[in-house]
Structures are given as C-alpha cells and as structure tokens.
Structure 1
C-alpha cells in the first residue's frame, strides 16, 4: 500500500477550492446474489481489518481527514466551551449503591475526564476515594461495579479506550487492595453479582476476547467464580454447549442474576429482542454440579421484563397491550395467559421500564417527551404516583436487597440532570444532598424555546418532532439546523440535556430530534412499524421531519445537517441516498450503513430479530432496501459527509463506516468533502469526556464550515 504525504499548502488549496485528492482506494469487485438480486461490492477487501493494506488505508484516511479538519478555525473554541459547560455541572455521578450507612458511586470530577470510585459516609458526610482506574494504566475506564452485602468487597468491570471487551477485578475494601482474581472476558453491558455470603461472583463470560473474531459475541456462558481460585476452574451455570436443553441460539446471551431475596437464580437468553426466554432455579441449585433450570417465560408471551418476590411473578408485557401492562401470576404455577392485571395499559402513554426495591415495584409511564414515576406496594398491590418535577424521571434502587431507598434523575432538553432521593415509607422525594453538585449553568429556558410538534409522514402517520431553537431566530430559512434520530429496538429518544448539543445551540444552530418509527415513543406498535419490512418508515419519517424544518422556514437544505448514530446509520445513510438534495451535511456516527453485510460480523446475528436475516428470502429483500452502501450512485450530488468510526468498536466494526466513506468518495458528484473520521482511542462510545469533546468539536466544526457559518470558514490566504 502506498504511503501518502501532503504539504500544508496542498491541503489548504484543497479545502478552499473543494477539490479533494482522497487516499487511493482500489476497487476489487465481489458480486453477491441475494435471491436473484446481484450486488457488486467493490470494497469487500476493506473487511479484513488484520490486513496491513487495510490498516494503512485507515491510517491514510485518518491523516487525510485530520489535515482537512485542522484547517477549520474555532475547533479549539468548541472543545474548550464543551469543557466549560461540563465544569458548570460540577461533578457528575454514575451508578450509585448503598450498603448500610455508606453510598458508593462512580464520579467524574468537573476538571477530570474519567470517573473514579468513591464512598460517602452518610453520618459524617466524609467522601473517600476508593479506586482510580488509571492506576492500572492510562485510559483504563470503569464500566460498572457492584458490592457484596457487607461492603467488604467491590467487583469492578474495567475496559480500555472505549472498548467493550472488559475484565472484572475485585477490590478488598478492608485492605483497599486488588485481589489476584481476574475474571473475563465480559461484555460491557452484562451484569454480575456477589453471592449473599460474598464468597463468589456470578457473571456472563464471552467465548473470546479477540475483537476481530467472528465468535466475539457468540456462545457465551453464565459462570460462577469462587473468589481466590483460578478463573479457569469456574463452573458453567448455563450455556448452549453444556445445557442443550435450554435450546439457546449461538447469538443469545446467557444473562444471569439473583432475585432481591436470593431465593432464586434468574437466567435470560437475551438479544436485541426484548422478549427473551427466561428460566429460574432455586438458589440452592448452585451447590449442584448442574443447574435444573425451569422455563417460566417464552418469547411468544410478549414479556419484556419480570420481577419475582416470594411466589409472586410480576410481568411487564405488551401481549394484547401495545402500550404495555403489568400483570401478576404465581411463580410456582405460572399461568401467564390468565395473569391478574395490576396496572392496565394506558391509551396515551407507555409503561417503559420496571425495577424493584425491597417492598415495592416501580414503573415509568411516558410518552416519549415526559416520563412519570409510579410505585406499587408488592404486598397490597396499591399503586401511587411518585411526586417529582415534570420532565423525564428515571430511577434505580440503592439497595433492593435490604431497603426501599431509590434515587431518581430528572432531566429535560434545557434542564440539566438533578438527582432526588425517595423512600415510599418516608414521604416525598427530596433533592439529594450528596448526589448533586453546585451548578453554574445559564438559564437556558431564557435563551431558547422548545417546541413539540407532530409532522405528517409519507403515509399520513403523525411523527413527533422536538425543535430547540434560539429565541431570536429569524424564520427565513437562513439558520443552520441539526436534526438527529434513531429508530431502533423500541428505544425512545427522550429529552436529555446534552453538553455538546448545548454548545452547538450557542453557535446559533437549531437542534431537532425526530422521534421516528422503530423507536418506542408510542409503544410497541411504533417499534414494529419501523423494523424489518417496515424499516423504510424510519428514514422516511426522518425525511418528513427534515422537510418540515425547511417548509416552516426554520432552515433550508443548504443549512441542514442530518445525523444518525449506530442503528441510526440506516436512518442517515438511506435519508441521504434517497434525498441527497435535502441536506447540506450528513454525520454518520459508528453507523450501520452496510446492512447486507451486517450478519457476517460478530454482532450481526444478534441483530436478526430487529432487521432480519440475509439467509431468509423475504428478509433479504428488506435488507437490500435498508442497505445505504448499495444505494450510492455515480455522479449524484451527495451532501458533505463525515463518517465517524472507533477502531475499538465491536458493535459496528470499523470496515462498515470505512466502506461507506470509500464508495461516497468515489461516486459523489457534488465536489463536497467526504471524510472518514477514525478514532484510535474510542470504540462504539467512551466514558472519556476529553475524547468525546474532541470528536464532537471536530465533527461540529466540519458541519458548521459546510453550512457556511462565518466562524468556521478557513482562511483563503
């Protein structure tokens, strides 16, 4: 592979004249036949990430993009402003747990970029630093943690540079020293728990730690590790190989946990599909060589979550209730079809999630824009609304094993997060003394307006659109606008305060969020009408919302920036290939832009419930429609595009964004830049805020340059 050298003068000429001499990308055509439809893939060779030629190509693309971006003024100003706004928040908190009179939490100090573990004595208010992950090496990050019941040990899940292949270490809190145990590899999202005696940990083990292995997210095993022993001797509690009677698929995750009272072990065969097979076994089964699992939930039951208390089995289900309901049956003799309705389906809001404390079940009721919190007394089944400020209210237990204390986070588009503490037996929620910091934000509600509207999509369906804009805006189409959406897995894009987007707002840019189909804003039907055969609704809803911004004179096509992240890669990729004239800029972040090839990746089979399988004739037809890569045509005037990938990403492997950049660079007829933004210190995401702010300062600067924002125009001299 040739090496590429460019002078600063050449790059400056390119950036001003809009002539781009991209790194060479050879075309090596491979023809695939998808049930009679032939697709030529000229960039299949880029899928071999171990190839020196491919690695050199990514490095050349990275250097090329950085040299272009480096010429855009005020990038550093954006980065510094993001840091300033972060510091206005003071310290920020992650997961919080309580043991007796102590709080334990991950916290990022306002002048730091990575979180550390702390404890707080509630009787004295004294805070103690427990663990700094960078004592184990630079860019080591805390992904999650949990405690034993006596607060003598803490298990810490650790990753490197945004990667999600983690290892678990155990800190002895009595000596403040790490034990020799090292457990893993473990995927970042999987839970792990101590047994009640604190002598063992249950967890889900990955089959390999090789990020390039096709087995990376397959054939996982639920395990138990006895502290002080070699992890190689850990016992398998559930797996496809050792427990064939479970009928587990190779791509299903064996997620393991305990009930709050430790009477039962719970096993879920999970995937991107929310309706998982669920099994239980008495806790006493742990002493046996093999667990006798009993299935209590099938995927066809349309149950997305459960809670067990004694013999009570609570179910969150959308069976005959697309907005969900909560029902109750017996654990020992479950009769799901005739379960008692505890909380009926709401007509205008969706039950989003449930969690427990010792004596209560909590659930959220939301409409995609607001989310209220409710409680159910597990013994009396009496429901009650928890009084919290308006907005999006989420919550988690502090110690469900021992008490009813929970903490609630309240947030809105223009209202930064505030944490409240609540106990059903003690009265109203109160602002937390220790889980909030002194903030110095400006009053964003005085500076900006929020408008919630509904937009008619291509088929007449009304799609919610959130618009946040400066109060002094001129409604003449001259204002830059940034529109984003997601539309996958039934996940709602609810209001949240974003440091980076607040800085974009400060540049006089409108922010819009399209609540497209495929999400969960309007319940399970909203999800189903944006998946598989119905997936085109996702990008067509996005296009309709973008057209609304133009027709109402918020912005114009020459000022419109479209964005999609991860599964949102389908959204933005297909939006610009279907309506390239509608956008000035497209930002595709770690996106699924090559849906036809997704199934060949380690994370691909896991996506089948959402997008379908290329091995199925009907699904293949829909995947062809989703695939942005094959929709790029020679000579079409595509917008300026910046495509972000993280080289440690195991969800959307870097070759997928890379191939999308390659085909756009080769074929776009607009003369506008197409940049592949490669980050070697990131994966699908990262908790390192310096890395995050650096990325978005670069990406937003690129976008603002392309929409002719005066502060971001390179010098012509």
Structure 2
C-alpha cells in the first residue's frame, strides 16, 4: 500500500506542476578555443552582472523558482522544525579567548538568529553582553574578532548579509563604544592582531571591495594600522610592488602574524595551497622603513604549518610522508632534511598543530575518529589527551600566557560538547560555561551509523558514512541524501548537523562520501583528486551512490545527490556522467563552469587545485571537469535545484546561473530545474533564519521530487 500511495502522490504532483515555463534565456553562442579544442558557450552574456538585462533575468528566475517551491506543502514545517532543533540544543558557543579573569566569545542564543559578543568573569561567573552587531549596521554579522593583551580593546570583523568583503572596527571594552577607526576592505578568512603595546593592528588589506572587479582577491597588502589615525596613513609591511624580492604572485595573500613569544613577525604568502612560503623578521623591524624579510619555508618543503618559540621551529610536513610528520629545526639556520622528527608518520593522518604557552598539540585522525596529543616543548614528551571517542579538536584560550585549552568533541549523532583541559594535570572536564542547556533526544536510539568502504572505478576503496533510521526497510523504497566535497585536502569529518537531523526525521537516509580530493587518507588522497586526477572525485561519488542502490538502501528515483562550492564539480559531473542514477541533484553555490571561473575574481586562486587555463596540459583536465560543457540537449537529467548567493565572491553568481540555464534549455526528462537565488546570502551566512529558510526550501523541493508523501502538491 505504501508504494501505491507514493506512486499516486508522485503522479498527482507531476500532473499539477507538469509544465515548467522558465523565464526565457536566449542562447548567444560564443566559441572559445582552448589549445585547439573549441567549446561553444551559449550563456556568457550572463556573466555581466552589472547588466540590467542580466539583473532582470536573475530576478525572474528567483520569482519563478519561488512560485514553484511555494506550492510544496510542509516547507514551513521543515523551517519551524529546524528552529525547534536549534532551540533544543540551547545556546551555541564559539571558541573563547581569555584575558586575565575574563573570557571573550560569541554566542547565539537558542531563539536568536545571529551571534553576539559576550564576556564572562571567571571569578564571579557573571556573563555580560558586550556587543550586538545589529546595533552597528543592518544585516551586520560578526565574522571574527581578536582581543588585545589587556582585554581593553577588541577588533571586530563585520560582514554584511553573508558577504565576505568585510570591515574592521575597534571596540572599547570599558565604554562599549566603537572607535572611529575603520579598516576596509578585508577578506573574511584573513587574520588580524594587536601589537604588543596594544596601540596598533596588523592586517591584510584587499586592493578593492568591488565584488564585480577582477582584482577583488589580487594585489593584497600586509598592513600596520596605528589606532586613532586614518587608514590612509597605514604602513605597508609587505606587498608585491614593494617587495619584489619575495617573488609574490599577484593572487597570493600576504598574511602576517606574530610568534607566540612576540620575538618575530611572520609573513605567509597564502593561496588555496596549504604549503605556503613563509618569511620572518625580528619584531623590532616593525619600526623599520622597510622590513627585510628572511625566508624560512619554501613551498617545495611541503610544510603546511609551523610554530616558533625561541630559536626552535616546529613544523608539520608531508615531505616523503603522505600521512604527515612533525619535526623541529633551528629557526636561524633551518635544515628540514636533517631535522629532528618528533612525531613520525603513521597509519593515521596528522591533520593539524597548534600551541599553548608550554605545549604543542596535534590531531591524529583515521578519517572517522580524531584524537588529540600534547608535546611538552621542553622535554618533547608526548601524551594523549583523554577525551571521548569521536572527532576531537582543541583551541588555546591564551597561548601567550597560559596552557588552558578548550576541547570540542563531535560525532554524527552526538551534538558537539565543549571540554576544559589543563595539560599540566591531564584532565578534561565538561565545560561549565560553554555548553547549552541541551534537550536533544538520544539520537543513538533512533538511528544507526554504518562506516563502510566502497570499491571505486579503479579498485580504490572509498570511505562512506551512512546514517539511517533504525526501522527502515532495505528494499530500495527509502529516500536517501548523499553528499560529498573532494577539494583542497579538506576532510568531511563526523559532526552533528541540525539541518540534516531534520532530514533524518523525514525518514531519509543521509550518507557522506569521503571522496578523493579530500584529506581523509592523507596528502595522497588529496592529490588523487586534483587536476588530471579530478575525475576520481566524481567517480568515487558515483561508486558510493551505486553502493546505496545495490545494497537496497534506496533506488535511483529516490536518491538525492548534493555538492557545494568545489563540490559543484562533483555533483555536476556525477549527473552529466550518470543522469540515470539520481532522482534529484542539489548544487549549492557550486563550481560548475571551471573553464570560465578563472575569469572571475577568485579564479586565479584555484589554479593550484584545478589547473591553469594557460597551460596546454592542464586544459585537458579543466575541460573534463567543466560541467556546463558536458550538458547535452535531449538528455533526461534528474530534477535539479541550483542555489547561488548574490553576495558570493568565491563562486560568482553567474557560474551556478549559467549551469541552471543550460539544464533548463537541455533536459528532456520533464523534471524541474530551478535556480534558487538568495539575495540575503553569500557563499554562506551566519544568519540562521536565512540558512534555515533556504534549506527548508531546497529540502522540500528534493523530497517532493523523490515522492515523499508529505511534500506532494495537492491537485487542483
């Protein structure tokens, strides 16, 4: 009876919304020649986001998508349930900073949409609201903050509506007022820090704040700002123009910080690669007219992180060690080839290091569990930190002054929990202040987690995490949602998600494919999903999707495939290679047109990961991973919802838009292809109302298309 009901409901929905009269998207063919391979692009005209015609097209697409989505029942119920689950978790906290007896942190109250800045007095336990970003500007969000050494001033980084082009303001803690200083534009991910006298700030300044400029993420400068002076008087500490000896590429990011002992200034030339060239100078060089930078790390050293104390340079590297190792050498005369190895390579992957005053900490992961270890900086003795099983991360509260740590533990079905840890006594205690009053149900009694490995196209075994309701029938009748990423060596680690828990509540299986291109199995796992080897990423995803079907977890008509950002390559090429394998595809702010994305502001930064348009050899792989050019007319593609944030500077909005337009004008399946345009979002946002509203819309669309009875429009 259940299958009959599903079939009936699906038939009704297809009848009700059978005709999809999309806003017209004219084809205006332009042919590009890529070293002899000619590819015609019908939608390059959509790349002009300043064009009134293009702006009207986006608005028409947005309105049309909502006219369809608004007919789906229980969409609001999904949104309300996400809000309820948020409230069940209580207030949520981010990592804190400690200055003396005060903690500084951002917190999102269980019934609020944005995080605010708070402080807590450790001696009394009293919490105080320091700053509400909405009192500064409408739609302002606190992206990051740092505190001076005395706890008197806080530098706050603000973004607007999910955008990542930010501005920095300084809060006087005693008065609660913002100083007149304003630094902009700054990119959301770049650090900033007070000098030792607390009178200045070091930061990285962008060359432009125009999101449509091709120079947006190029020609940046490392700067020094004296508090109380105009930003146009800020001093350049490092730049491509002022420091030709650094051989800085125009797309590299000059990022500066101070060593924990405040003896040195450190300069990293960042990019999407983790292996950044690094330079240093004595702290006193801040007073020099021009800093003389001395190189200590080259990209060829394959070093991804360093830590300096005195003349000791600790480093994390995958040089001749794909699973990484930790070593130490002299800062004044570094010799990485003959360095002392403190933690040798093992079967598990060392994912990161960080420090406190007297210890160095590292994470050791098998892809599913991550343990934490401490190294005594004086004796180099190693000790495992006693934390619950699962994914464990730690953060120093004040690395310059003490060894106090916050630990954070998470799993697929266990909401994250903060722990307080002091390495001198080796005890981890559940945090008194940083865990919300959780009223979550025991998800482990409701759902199962299965970790398997799936044979991919070339015989490689790919990890697949499957979370499913305990009462499902293994007959292929259950909807399933599978997601993957596969880029930059980033791992999909187990973590609890309010959004996905709501999807599980609908009886949907949730699966995470740990495809190549990520870092779950070390540096080689990353390299095997880059450039010419990028097809492994989507072929691994296809193999994991086939496993779910073959093992009767689900069937193709009920399988929802998802990919976001770099995962746009994954989901885009999965459905163009195997359109028959998925009932629905969700492409979130996805990279789906790599042949053109290098013309965008963030394009040059992606060259180390995907390849260079100007390289005849790289072109072959770029053509292979370009989804848009693989869409063919007359093919029966699954239902697709493509999302884009109009404030997105990472994946510029025209890239997902062109993908949606191509599919609308090509598919013959009769299934809908919608472009979900969010004018309140960027690549992501910290506004939970915006986030929950978008995911309730997207999930409702997907559940409608896989025949879920609660999400079928009523026949009129």
TM-score, normalising length: structure 2? 0.98
Q: Equivalent residue for 1:98?
A: 98
The answer to whether the Cα contact below 8 Å between 1:14 and 1:20 also exists between their aligned partners in 2 is no
Q: Equivalent residue for 1:682?
A: 681
> d(CA) in 1 for partners of 2:178 and 2:708?
52
> d(CA) in 1 for partners of 2:366 and 2:139?
38
> d(CA) in 2 for partners of 1:559 and 1:437?
36
Deviation above 2 Å: which 4+ runs of structure 1? 12-15
1:343-380 Cα deviation digits (max 9, x unpaired): 00012x10000100011000000011110000001111
The answer to whether the Cα contact below 8 Å between 2:252 and 2:605 also exists between their aligned partners in 1 is yes
Q: Equivalent residue for 1:341?
A: 341
Deviation at 1:65, TM superposition (A): 0.2
> d(CA) in 2 for partners of 1:17 and 1:189?
43
> Which secondary structure state, in structure 2, belongs to the residue aligned with residue 439 of structure 1?
coil
> d(CA) in 2 for partners of 1:303 and 1:427?
29
Deviation at 1:425, TM superposition (A): 1.0
| Aligned ranges 1:473-488 → 2 under 5 Å | 473-488=472-487
> Which secondary structure state, in structure 2, belongs to the residue aligned with residue 387 of structure 1?
coil
The answer to whether the Cα contact below 8 Å between 2:169 and 2:178 also exists between their aligned partners in 1 is yes
Distance 1:306 1:479, change over 3 A: same
> d(CA) in 1 for partners of 2:397 and 2:110?
24
> Which secondary structure state, in structure 1, belongs to the residue aligned with residue 104 of structure 2?
strand
The gaps in structure 2 that reach 5 residues or longer are: 1-11
Deviation at 1:17, TM superposition (A): 4.1
Q: Equivalent residue for 2:143?
A: 143
> d(CA) in 2 for partners of 1:576 and 1:19?
22
Deviation at 1:175, TM superposition (A): 1.5
Q: Equivalent residue for 1:395?
A: 394
> d(CA) in 1 for partners of 2:364 and 2:452?
20
1:165-202 Cα deviation digits (max 9, x unpaired): 00000001122111000011100000000001100000
Q: Equivalent residue for 1:67?
A: 67
Q: Equivalent residue for 1:174?
A: 174
Deviation at 1:13, TM superposition (A): 9.5
| Aligned ranges 1:561-572 → 2 under 5 Å | 561-572=560-571
The answer to whether the Cα contact below 8 Å between 1:645 and 1:677 also exists between their aligned partners in 2 is yes
Deviation at 1:594, TM superposition (A): 0.2
1:648-683 Cα deviation digits (max 9, x unpaired): 000000000000000000000100000000000000
Q: Equivalent residue for 2:6?
A: none
User: 2:456 aligned with 1:495, yes or no?
Assistant: no
Deviation at 1:14, TM superposition (A): 8.3
Q: Equivalent residue for 2:9?
A: none
Q: Equivalent residue for 2:710?
A: 711
> Which secondary structure state, in structure 1, belongs to the residue aligned with residue 425 of structure 2?
coil
User: 2:23 aligned with 1:29, yes or no?
Assistant: no
Q: Equivalent residue for 1:7?
A: none
The answer to whether the Cα contact below 8 Å between 2:13 and 2:712 also exists between their aligned partners in 1 is no
Deviation at 1:426, TM superposition (A): 2.8
Q: Equivalent residue for 1:447?
A: 446
> Which secondary structure state, in structure 2, belongs to the residue aligned with residue 286 of structure 1?
helix
Q: Equivalent residue for 1:616?
A: 615
Q: Equivalent residue for 2:365?
A: 366
Deviation at 1:423, TM superposition (A): 1.2
Q: Equivalent residue for 1:595?
A: 594
> d(CA) in 2 for partners of 1:403 and 1:296?
27
> Which secondary structure state, in structure 2, belongs to the residue aligned with residue 285 of structure 1?
helix
The answer to whether the Cα contact below 8 Å between 1:108 and 1:116 also exists between their aligned partners in 2 is yes
1:149-177 Cα deviation digits (max 9, x unpaired): 00010000001000000000000112211
The answer to whether the Cα contact below 8 Å between 1:15 and 1:68 also exists between their aligned partners in 2 is no
The answer to whether the Cα contact below 8 Å between 1:95 and 1:144 also exists between their aligned partners in 2 is no
> Which secondary structure state, in structure 1, belongs to the residue aligned with residue 182 of structure 2?
strand
Q: Equivalent residue for 2:356?
A: 357
The answer to whether the Cα contact below 8 Å between 1:354 and 1:361 also exists between their aligned partners in 2 is yes
The answer to whether the Cα contact below 8 Å between 2:168 and 2:184 also exists between their aligned partners in 1 is yes
Deviating more after overlay: 356-365 vs 86-95? 86-95
The answer to whether the Cα contact below 8 Å between 1:422 and 1:428 also exists between their aligned partners in 2 is yes
> d(CA) in 1 for partners of 2:15 and 2:481?
22
The gaps in structure 1 that reach 5 residues or longer are: 1-11
> d(CA) in 2 for partners of 1:121 and 1:151?
12
> d(CA) in 1 for partners of 2:467 and 2:455?
19
Aligned residues: 705
The answer to whether the Cα contact below 8 Å between 1:635 and 1:667 also exists between their aligned partners in 2 is yes
Q: Equivalent residue for 2:262?
A: 262
> Which secondary structure state, in structure 1, belongs to the residue aligned with residue 81 of structure 2?
helix
| Aligned ranges 1:227-376 → 2 under 5 Å | 227-347=227-347, 349-376=348-375
The answer to whether the Cα contact below 8 Å between 1:140 and 1:161 also exists between their aligned partners in 2 is yes
> d(CA) in 1 for partners of 2:412 and 2:432?
24
- RMSD, aligned α-carbons: 0.9
> Which secondary structure state, in structure 2, belongs to the residue aligned with residue 600 of structure 1?
coil
The answer to whether the Cα contact below 8 Å between 2:272 and 2:609 also exists between their aligned partners in 1 is yes
TM-score, normalising length: structure 1? 0.98
> d(CA) in 1 for partners of 2:95 and 2:693?
25
> Which secondary structure state, in structure 1, belongs to the residue aligned with residue 510 of structure 2?
strand
